[in-house]
Amino acid sequence: MRFLSTILTLLFVAYLTSPLWEKPASDYVDVSFLDTIDAQVIKGYEFFKNQPFIENTINDLSNTVTTLPAKLTNEVNKSTYDPVTQLEKPTLATPTDGLFSVHNIQVGDKLEAVNNELGKAKRTTLNEYGSKWHTFHTNYQNFLMVSFDDSSRVNGLFTNNDLIASSYGIKLNSPKTVVQETLGQPLKHIQKDNINYILNDHGEMETFLIENIYVTVFYDVHENNTVTAIQIISDSLENKKNSLYGETSDALRDGFEFQLFDLTNAARVHHKVPPVKWESTVRGTAYKHSLDMASQNYFNHTNLAGQSPFDRMTMDDINYSVAGENLAYGQSSSIFAHEGLMNSIGHRKNLLKRDFKLLGVGVAFNDENQPYFTENFYTP
């Protein structure tokens, strides 16, 4: 009986898997004789199906054969690993529900889905929209920031890494001319409370309104005006902001400071430069200079008392072998400030200087809510 059941089991396996091999085989031999065998297999199965051994074996084999194609497909679709960084490199599918995605995430996706995709955020900080940037990265690689609305759905995205996918074919390093040919004319201004705020005055970034989504594309002027970063903001989030600048608070100041720090490190790692570490003492030095500029209405590395950045660091008992300072003013966020600094050759050199080991960022606001950004870099 066991010998017979084994034969029937093998025949039944051949029957179940026939869709996988009959068609290729028919190109070379006549397989019509299998119709008779199939009929006998079915009769045999009907006869033995109530035998426990045969029934369990057949059920197990049937389940294996049925699920095999799906398992094979899952293996093929798994993310690959970047051979250089040895980090998981996401497979970027072309967006179906939206026009742009970052790391396979689109506006409208649920918080749960994002956490399943990215894990726990490295940092959560307030942004100029009154929502929070959830920052994700692996040692500053695969860097992105995600904002969520009150219903825990994505309403904002940013990345300066190769994580951009678009139904338009736009991605990191796409030429500016391709973006313009594909997306058309960018916005010249944005209206807030009957005030038109001019955009794109230097050509280093362009904002497009596409199906109720504000897409800001940043260009690297030192890399032939190619795409270096992208910010995606839903219209509902943009409309929450009554002016170009957000409502100031200590939480927003802290948010801007840590966002600029993280953006700096993401840029350094992207350009194969080791990240810097946060240093609280020099952060205080940077903050005092930002506050002085904001309250005294000037913008300069040398303050009104004639003190240089190095003088100020020495006064705060900071011993350094090499040091540098970056300043930005008037940008609506740390993202815009950072991208502007990267397009200024002197500031870019500081941002990407390998000799620097430590960084402190200080942000202060003037009476019009405009932020002043100071970055102080140094190495003991």
Query: Using an 8 Å Cβ cutoff, are 144 and 225 in contact?
Result: no
Together in a domain, 206 and 256: no
pLDDT tens readout for residues 221-254: 999 999 999 999 999 999 998 888 999 999 999 9
Mean pLDDT lowest among 17-21, 39-43, 74-78, 266-270: 74-78
Together in a domain, 123 and 226: yes
Q: Is 368 helix (H, G, I), strand (E, B) or coil?
A: coil
**Greater pLDDT, 370 or 78:** 370
Together in a domain, 149 and 192: yes
Look at the block and give the residue holding tokens 């959560």: 124
Together in a domain, 129 and 164: yes
- The confidence score (pLDDT) of residue 189 equals 79
Q: What's the mean pLDDT in 120-142? A: 97
Together in a domain, 228 and 104: yes
As a whole-number percent, the residues of the chain with pLDDT over 90 amount to: 64
Q: Which residues share a beta bridge with 89?
A: 80
Q: H helices of the chain, where?
A: 2-16, 18-26, 34-48, 52-77, 111-118, 176-183, 235-238, 250-270, 280-296, 309-315, 334-342, 345-351
Two structure tokens written together for 231: 């910010």
pLDDT tens readout for residues 60-95: 544 444 444 444 334 434 444 444 344 555 555 455
Q: What is the rounded distance in angstroms from the CA atom of residue 11 to the CA atom of residue 296?
A: 89
Q: Is the pTM of this model over 0.85?
A: no
Domain count, the chain: 3
Classify residue 76: in a domain, yes or no: no
Together in a domain, 230 and 270: no
- The confidence score (pLDDT) of residue 95 equals 55
- The confidence score (pLDDT) of residue 139 equals 96
- The confidence score (pLDDT) of residue 85 equals 43
Query: Using an 8 Å Cβ cutoff, are 110 and 216 in contact?
Result: no
Classify residue 79: in a domain, yes or no: no
Classify residue 188: in a domain, yes or no: yes
Whether the pLDDT of residue 9 is over 70: the answer is: no
Query: Using an 8 Å Cβ cutoff, are 147 and 105 in contact?
Result: no
As a whole-number percent, the residues of the chain with pLDDT over 70 amount to: 72
Classify residue 89: in a domain, yes or no: no
Together in a domain, 149 and 59: no
Domain CATH code at residue 124: 3.40.33.10
Q: What's the mean pLDDT in 346-372? A: 97
Q: What is the rounded distance in angstroms from the CA atom of residue 225 to the CA atom of residue 175?
A: 6
Phi, psi of 278 (to 5 degrees): -70, 135
Type of residue at 68: L
Task: Find, among 339, 82, 40, 101, the residue nearest to 206 by Cα.
Answer: 339
Those residues whose C-beta lies under 8 Å from the C-beta of residue 243, and which sit 6 or more positions away, are 192, 193, 195, 197, 369
- Band of residue 194 on the pLDDT scale cut at 50, 70, 90: low
Structural domain including 47 reads 1-66
Two structure tokens written together for 362: 């200080």
How many degrees, rounded to 5, is the angle at CA 80 between CA 79 and CA 83? Answer: 155
Together in a domain, 233 and 176: yes
Specify which of 96-100, 187-191, 296-300 reaches the highest per-range mean pLDDT: 296-300
Together in a domain, 254 and 158: no
Q: What is the rounded distance in angstroms from the CA atom of residue 244 to the CA atom of residue 365?
A: 13
pLDDT tens readout for residues 98-110: 588 999 999 999 9
For the four alpha carbons of 341, 355, 377 and 147, in that order, the dihedral sign comes to positive
